[in-house]
Amino acid sequence: MTSAMKDGKPLDRLIAYTQESPAFYAAGTLLSAPPHTKIRFSWFFATDNRHITDVELNTENHGSDIFVYSTLNNGGDPWPKGAFRVEIFVNDRSDPDQIIDFEVE
């Protein structure tokens, strides 16, 4: 998790956000991936196990070793306090390739 992306790279590393954070950013490095690899980010409010949304992207021809990321915003409203989770899937796998847990304090 990061507070922002710049030039396609995460600026920092976070484990918690504030209720006033404008957005969440989940970022990862995709290594040795063929062109047109599909990535799906599934966002959850884990405190009550509520699915928020899925964000899908395609690497197109951007290279095999790249950062991939997804952003989730709350339309300017404060985030609820509690546990959140994002699950990252590569291609059409049924089990997540990565699970990131984070908090809103």
Structural domain range at position 74: 5-104
Q: What is the pLDDT of residues 7-31, one digit of tens each?
A: 888 989 999 999 999 999 999 888 9
Show Cβ contacts of residue 26 under 8 Å, excluding neighbours closer than 6 positions.
1, 41, 69, 70, 72, 86, 88, 100
| Residues comprising the chain, all counted | 105
DSSP secondary structure letter of residue 48: G
Radius of gyration of the chain (CA): 14
Q: Kindly report the pTM of this predicted structure.
A: 0.90
pLDDT value for 60 = 87
Location of structure tokens 């546990």? 83
**Mean pLDDT over residues 55-70, rounded?**
87
The CATH code of the domain that includes 13 is 2.60.40.10
Give me the number of domains the chain comprises: 1
Note the Cα 23 to chain centre separation in Å.
11
Show Cβ contacts of residue 11 under 8 Å, excluding neighbours closer than 6 positions.
2, 3, 4, 5
